Amino acid sequence: MAGFLGGLLNATVSAATVFILAGLGELISERAGVLNLGVEGMMLSGALGGFIVTVVTGSTWLGLFAGIVAGMALASIHAFLCISLKANQVISGVMLTLLGTGLTTFYGSRWVENSIDGFSQVTVPLVGQYLVDIPVIGTALFSNTPTDYIALALVPITWYFLNHSNMGLELISVGEDPEMADTMGVAVFKLRYLAVIIGGGFAGAAGAHLSLAFSQLWVPGMTAGRGWIAVALVIFAQWTPSRMLVGAYLFGMLDALQLRSQALSFSVGADTPLAGIINPTIDFLMNGQIMATYPYLATILVLSYAVIKTKSDRLAVPSALLQSYSRETD
Amino acid sequence: MPESAFLEMQNILKEFPGVVANDHVDLQVERGEIHGLLGENGAGKSTLMKILYGLYSQDEGDIYLDGRRLELDSPQDAIDAGIGMVHQHFQLIPRLSVAQNVVLGEREPATLFRSDGESRLPEAVRSNGVVQALARRFSLGLDVPTQRIDDLADQYGFDIDATAKIWELDVGQQQRVEILKALYRDADLLILDEPTAVLTPAEAERLFDSLERLTEEGLAIIFITHKLNEVQSVVDRVTILREGKNVGTATVSEVTQADLAEMMVGREVLFNVEKDGVELGEPVLQLQNIHADNDRGIESLSGIDLTVRAGEVVGIAGVSGNGQKELAEVAAGLRRLTDGSITVGGTDLTGAKPKRFVNNDVSFVPEDRLRYGCAEDLSVMHNAAMKEFTDERFGSQMGLDYRELAAYAEELVEEFDVRGVRDVTETNAGDLSGGNLQKLILARELARDPDLLVANQPTRGVDVGAIEFIRETLLEQRTDGTGIVLLSEDLDEITDLSDRILVIYEGEFVYETTPEAADRDRIGLEMTGGASTDAATAESPQPIATGQDGEP
Ligand SMILES: Nc1ncnc2c1ncn2[C@@H]1O[C@H](COP(=O)(O)OP(=O)(O)OP(=O)(O)O)[C@@H](O)[C@H]1O
Ligand SMILES: [Mg+2]
């Protein structure tokens, strides 16, 4: 059981990284007032872009970089449509996901057979091995891919940036009230572009982590809805990085659990009362296909919880989310 | 040009589709003066000031400040030139603190990197250009700015806690934060667009004191208002706009309020409306022992009893924040009661949905016209028909007859003289000037011929000509048998229009009188809760109003 738990925790960290990166990216974009529903599409292009560059150059780091650039490239389309042309953010975002999915399926099919080494687990120098040997949590905490550490580091960095830097303050103001920000001399358009494109970079990195570190292969559609979960996580996190971390681990755990469902078997003894009902129920609930729906069920629960909760609290949603801005409405 | 003024705006032309908002306007303002800018709603005052602040760009004309020609492409250019502006609608972010709102855009680095602050970093590192550039972007220090804000606040007598969040402040304080924003940037020219519209008379007095201190230091102030008595008491010279044109500049001491009104409107304005006697009918609104909370969950109505009869105007006076907003919302069905009951025209509507209030012929003019009074991004037509579109004449269940809706909207625009509407289906409500939007909302609410009208600050931000019109309209409604609850911070308005006056203080009615018997000092005292402490010395304590015993 300890072995199972250790493996599960280890996989959770890696799965959570996807949500941390994609979720933080979406969070930054939304704090500037731009909803980007194209996360799924940006992740897929990040995953494929990263994979191809890694195969071609043999360098996983170059691959990660390419994934980030691919995410940014798609995000710039969204930025241009929504900020400059003032298109509807929801429509543009959905379009972006369709575009990303379509392009990566079309161009990605011939890369499916390729294999890469991907990111390997690294440990702290000198004392690393002793830490890893700690039972159960050792590998989960101290033996991870570089992207896992980067993602973890980005949580406090993003928090600091948003709450303790001038750029962050300006970014928030643009998401709260672009007109007000404009009257204070804040470059509204520039900041919104910046936020959306950085957000795209984060999503691209999330995708690259998926193909280069998490599964170390490329399959079309491999994000399997994780981008949408990241969008929901932003609401769960109430637009704060620290709560994003909690949500990401929650969903990372579900993700990891589902991948390991085969290794699990629970049953009660045949002589227990109601065993005839309990055992088939457990089998049903532990079925791999059923377990694959858990993240989505959890999303629904989490969102309902967040919405009910925010009714009483002060709503944390950026006030100008979804609003385009123009100085003169003529 | 010989002897040019501190600020020279020359020949400014600004056109919006279908409207010439500024038609070759000239404006001169000197250092150390408070320069009034007067004009009807939609005359182009805000537009002219937005051009001066770099928010709009003029189609023609030039701006000179202190002899230099200004090219203003953005507010940042205006800020750099020493211009500060307090906008007609507050530009503050409620969720952020006072200090954060004030320093936004100034890029104040963390104390560690400041050249003026205490710092352990060597001077050479601190003054390095790259370090500065990074520090200004990726750090934020609020200690030094907070000190500076506190100093400024002290200097001008503002009671502002720089660490408080904006949503915790009342409107008067928010107003002062707006001014602090400009002072913090060392403005030489301060534009105030209707700063007193949301202030109580006492708060306005305090603002004027501060403004006078500012002009003593050589600031030039442009002051937009619709209140002619304010012009008389604080303004030195005044420029008047009418339909986008400058119709003249006058020295205030040489003209009367009536002159000013006539210059603005182009005709004589009646300041006093005639009120004729009306038979009181059945009660249209009965509030019994009303208790309700405000938005922050604190009880703000504590046992209100009120009866309004058909044909009666009940004026409710009070200092803002004593439950007026909540009372208005309760009477219009928009706020949940924690206790008590509401009867409208004989029907018990306690706990009923707002829709049932609307269906029972209750009309409501909210205090915040932009947020609650209209849908900014919908057309004038949509806004005008918002409460009436289910009426049969606009089509069946299946579809709406847009031509009929547009015709209805046009009728209202015509009747209530809403200006600046090019096409009812295309002009958005949010593009109307403040006063014209107010007229549109009134038109929507009154055209339904309500049995009960709840009007909260109906003439706020409205020009003298329109005030006259709105007051007359309200009295006409009264003659037609509408019961009216009038909440206003303008005591003259209350005494001119009401049949009965109630003073609200901390969520309770503390005093009742009639316009004939009204003693302004007494009302003023009651409004601030002063009477309860001076009760012993007050002449004859009036009974606490129950609402039931309203004398005609
Ligand atoms: N962004 C805009 N687009 C189109 N028309 C506009 C816009 N802003 C103002 N207008 C029009 O320009 C005219 C002048 O408006 P402005 O806001 O300057 O009036 P104002 O004098 O400030 O009035 P008020 O006293 O009611 O605030 C109005 O007819 C208004 O409808
Ligand atoms: Mg205006």
Residue type, B215: T
Greater model confidence, B88 or B423? B423
Residue of A nearest to B89 (CA): A180
pLDDT given at position B548: 39
Residues 6+ apart with CB under 8 A from B394: B385, B388, B400, B401, B404, B405, B408
A257 domain residue, yes or no: yes
Rounded CA separation B127/B133 (Å): 10
Please check whether residue A51 lies inside any domain of the structure: yes
B92 CB neighbours in chain A (<8 A) are 180
Measure the CA angle with vertex B68, ends B63 and B70; round to 5°: 40
Alpha-carbon span B328 to B486, nearest angstrom: 9
B431 touches chain A (CB under 8 A): yes
Asked if residue A7 is part of any domain, the answer here is yes
Residue whose C-alpha is closest to residue B140's, from A173, A27, A151, A23? A173
Residue A255 has a pLDDT of 85
Centre of ligand 1 from the C-alpha of residue B24, in Å: 16
Query: Strands B19-29, B7-16: parallel, antiparallel or unpaired by DSSP?
Result: antiparallel
Q: Is B416 on the interface with A (CB under 8 A)?
A: no
Instruction: Identify the CATH homologous superfamily for domain B283-361+449-539.
Output: P-loop containing nucleotide triphosphate hydrolases (3.40.50.300)
The proportion of chain B whose per-residue pLDDT surpasses 70, expressed as a percent, equals 94
Cα of A330 to nearest chain B Cα, Å: 6
Helices (H) then strands (E): counts for chain A: 15, 0
What string of DSSP letters covers A153-176? HHHHHHHHHHHHSHHHHHHHHHHH
- Residue B87 CA to ligand 2 center (angstroms) comes to 9
To test the ligand 1 pocket, which listed residue (B55, B433, B436, B470) has its Cβ within 8 A of the most ligand atoms? B433
Question: What residue spans define the domains of chain B?
Answer: 1-82+187-269, 94-170, 283-361+449-539
CA distance A324 to A89: 9
Angle CA B511–B513–B517, to nearest 5:
140
Query: Given CB atoms, is B113 within the 8 Å cutoff of chain A?
Result: no
Residues B235, B38 contacting (CB under 8 angstroms): no
Amino acid, single-letter form, for residue A138: G
Q: From CA B426, how far away is CA B403, in angstroms rounded?
A: 13
Ligand with an atom nearest the CA of residue B240: 1
Rounded to a whole number, what is the distance in angstroms from the first to the last CA of chain A? 67
pLDDT of residue B167: 84
* Angle CA B447–B451–B454, to nearest 5: 80
Confirm whether A321 is domain-assigned: no
Cβ of B21 closer than 6 Å to ligand 1, yes or no, is yes
Distance B391 CA to ligand 2 centre (A): 34
Alpha-carbon gap, residue B516 to A287, rounded angstroms: 83
Q: What separation in Å is there between the alpha carbon of B3 and the centre of ligand 1? A: 32
CB contact under 8 A, A168 and B91: no
Could you give the ipTM of this predicted complex?
Answer: 0.86
State whether residue A287 sits within 8 Å of chain B by CB.
no
What class, spelled out in words, does domain B1-82+187-269 have in CATH? alpha beta
Task: Name the residue of chain A whose CA is nearest to B17's CA.
Answer: A330
Q: How far apart are CA B184 and CA B158, in angstroms?
A: 13
Q: How far is CA A26 from CA A19, A31, A43, A174, A234, in A?
A: 10, 8, 12, 15, 7
Closest CA to B344 of B279, B280, B287, B301: B287
Mean pLDDT across B400-421: 90
Neighbours of B138 (CB within 10 A): 17
- A174 φ, ψ (degrees, to nearest 5): -65, -30
The boundaries of the domain holding residue A236 are: 2-311
B181 at interface of A, judged by CB pairs closer than 8 A: yes
Give the pLDDT confidence of B120-161 residue by residue, as tens digits. 778 777 778 888 889 889 989 898 899 999 998 888 778 888
d(CA B200, CA B227): 12
User: Is residue A208 a part of any domain in this protein?
Assistant: yes
Question: Is B283-361+449-539 in the same CATH topology as B1-82+187-269?
Answer: yes
- What pLDDT band is residue B184 in, cutting at 50, 70 and 90? very high
Whole-angstrom Cα distance, residue B347 to residue B345?
Answer: 6
Cβ contacts below 8 Å, chain A against chain B, sum to 75
Q: For B379-399, how does the pLDDT look when each residue is reduced to its tens digit (9 = 90+)?
A: 999 999 988 888 888 887 778
**CA gap B528, B544 in Å, rounded:** 16
Percent of residues, chain B, with pLDDT higher than 90: 43
Distance CA A172, CA B341 (A): 43
Which has more confidence, B128 or B84?
Answer: B84
Q: B465: pLDDT confidence band, cut at 50, 70 and 90? A: confident
**Phi-psi region for residue B82, left (φ > 0), alpha (ψ -120 to 50) or beta?**
left
Q: How far is B150 from chain A (nearest CA, A)?
A: 20
For residue A240 the two structure tokens come to 């704060």
What is the C-alpha R_g of chain A? 21
Coil, helix or strand for B11? strand
Cβ-based neighbours of A212, under 8 Å, separated by 6 or more:
A50, A51, A54, A60, A63, A64, A67, A116, A118, A119, A147
Q: State if residue B244 touches ligand 1 by the CB under 6 angstroms criterion.
A: no
Q: Can you list the residues of chain A whose pLDDT is less than 70?
A: 1-2, 125-126, 128, 136, 261-266, 309-315, 328-330
Chain B residues in contact with A182 by the CB 8 A cut-off are 55, 74-75
Cα B118 to Cα B114: distance, rounded to the nearest angstrom: 8
Q: What are phi and psi of B9, to 5 degrees?
A: -110, 125
We report the CATH number of the domain holding residue A212 as 1.10.3470
Contact A89, A322 (CB under 8 A): yes
- A217-246 burial code (b ≥16 CB/10 A, e <16): bbbbebbeebbbbbbbbbbbbbbbbebbbe
pLDDT digits (tens, 9 = 90+) for A216-264: 999 999 998 999 999 999 988 889 999 999 999 999 998 888 877 666 6
Q: Which residue of B12, B14, B19 sits with most ligand 1 atoms within 8 Å of its CB, as the best mutation to test the pocket?
A: B19
Atom of ligand 1 nearest to the CA of B437: 26
Alpha helices in A177-293 (DSSP H): 178-183, 188-209, 226-236, 241-259, 275-286, 288-291
Is the shortest distance between the CB of B431 and ligand 1 below 6 Å? yes
Structural domain includes residue A259? yes
Distance B432 CA to ligand 1 centre (A): 6
A188: helix, strand or coil: helix
Nearest ligand to the CA atom of B225:
1
Residue with tokens 């420029």, as numbered in its chain? B239
Give the ligand whose atoms come closest to the C-alpha of residue B40: 1
Composition of chain A by helix, strand, coil, percent to 5:
70, 0, 25
- Residue A185 region, left (φ>0) first, then alpha (ψ -120 to 50), else beta? left
Checking if the pLDDT of B41 tops 90, the result is: no
DSSP 8-state assignment for residue A111: G
pLDDT per residue as tens digits for the range B252-309: 889 888 888 888 887 777 666 677 777 888 999 999 999 998 877 788 899 999 999 9
SS3 B330: helix
- What lies within 8 Å, CB to CB, of B430 at 6+ separation is A329, B370, B374, B376, B377, B437
Q: Which amino acid is at B253?
A: S
Task: Provide the pLDDT for residue B531.
Answer: 55
pLDDT at A75: 97
pLDDT band at B535 (very low <50, low <70, confident <90, very high): very low
Give pTM, 2 decimals: 0.81
Per-residue confidence (pLDDT) for residue A311, from 0 to 100: 57
Q: Is B178 on the interface with A (CB under 8 A)?
A: no
Distances B406 to A237, A284, B426 between C-alpha atoms, Å:
45, 60, 10
- For residues A151 and A209, the answer to whether their CB atoms sit within 8 Å is yes
CB B477 within 8 A of CB B487: no
CA of A272, closest CA in chain B: separation in Å? 53
Mean pLDDT (chain B) is 86
Could you give the number of structural domains in chain A? Answer: 1
CA distance B297 to chain A (A): 10
A117: amino acid identity, one letter: D
Predicted pLDDT of residue A212: 95
Residues sharing a CB contact under 8 Å with residue A157, sequence separation 6 or more, in sequence order: none
Tell me whether residue A153 is exposed, middle or buried, using C-beta atoms within 10 angstroms of its C-beta: 0 to 12, 13 to 18, 19 or more.
exposed
* Ligand 1 centre distance from Cα of residue B52 (Å): 15
Q: What are phi and psi of B59, to 5 degrees?
A: -80, -30
Helix/strand/coil for B290: strand
- Does position B537 have pLDDT exceeding 60, yes or no? no
The answer to whether the Cβ–Cβ distance between B136 and A168 falls below 8 Å is no
B138 inside 8 A of chain A by CB: yes
Cβ of residue B548 closer than 8 Å to a chain A Cβ: no
